[in-house]
Amino acid sequence: MKILVAIKQVPVRDSPLRVNAAGNWIAEDDLSFEINEPDAYALEEALQLKEKHSGEVIAICAGPARAQQTIREALAKGADRAIHIETGNLAAFDTLGIAKLLAAEAGSESPDLILTGLQSDDLGYGQTGVVLAELMGLPHSTIIMQVEVKGSAIRVKRELEDGWFQHISMPLPAVLTIQSGINKLRYATLMGIKKAKTKEIRRVSAAAPAEPTVRIEKIYAPQKAKQAQIFSGDPKTAAAALVEKLKFEARVL
């Protein structure tokens, strides 16, 4: 069973963030980076499926040269080989652009299953896996909590709202977006880290980005403000005024 796992390198979660000079993204010069957490769960699910059914796990990542660190981590955890789509300006690609880059390489690999994380920790669109499936003409399902391989098909468990779940049977090949928490993440062993140095990373240059269909115009830190208001009158009158404020201004009631 050949499983392709799309991973992304994102800033470390507790990094201090600053808006860049253009005002349309964060300044990345002094940041540390790590594998996107939902993608780490997708990788873990792929490795467990490989252990049960044998086969091959291929990590695919689009990004600049520093993404090699994240790719090596995936290899150290157990991925067999990797594909690095090299681009120095990942921010120039919107979701559709990224999905096209992944689809071009995934098509040449002809995997039985493609896994992505549910969403990225930086942008959080939650669309790349779905758009990738549409571009490749493959069945797909999202928010996956369990995957069972049944011959040439799979049965998946989807997380819905209020503790409800949905079970779906799908033919292979297919695309799944994996929910965080589906499994316990493994650590890379010392032997895995050593082996990762000898595993194949196929490097391909990203195609020039097309005109994006979606772009970030501006990002900014929320303004911090403190405001206090004292209600005069007797307790009953003050309480009524407070309830009115909470209902119609704060809108929390």
Contact 13, 31 (CB under 8 A): no
Q: How far is Cα 122 from Cα 59, in angstroms, rounded to an integer?
A: 20
Tokens of 13: 């979660």
Q: Find where tokens 């995934």 sit.
A: 106
Q: For the chain, how many helices (H) and strands (E)?
A: 6, 11
Per-residue confidence in pLDDT tens, the chain, 253 aa: 999 999 999 999 888 888 888 888 888 888 899 999 999 999 999 999 999 999 999 999 999 999 999 999 999 999 999 999 999 888 889 999 999 999 999 999 999 999 999 999 999 999 999 999 999 999 999 999 999 999 999 999 999 988 899 999 999 999 999 999 999 999 999 999 999 999 999 999 998 888 888 888 898 887 777 778 888 889 999 899 999 988 888 778 7
DSSP 90: G
- pTM of the predicted model, to two decimals? 0.85
Domains and CATH numbers, the chain: 2-205 (3.40.50.620)
H-type alpha helices, the chain: 37-53, 67-77, 95-109, 128-136, 190-196, 235-248
Angle ∠(238,239,242) on CA atoms, nearest 5? 85
The secondary element (H helix, E strand) that includes residue 58 is strand 56-63
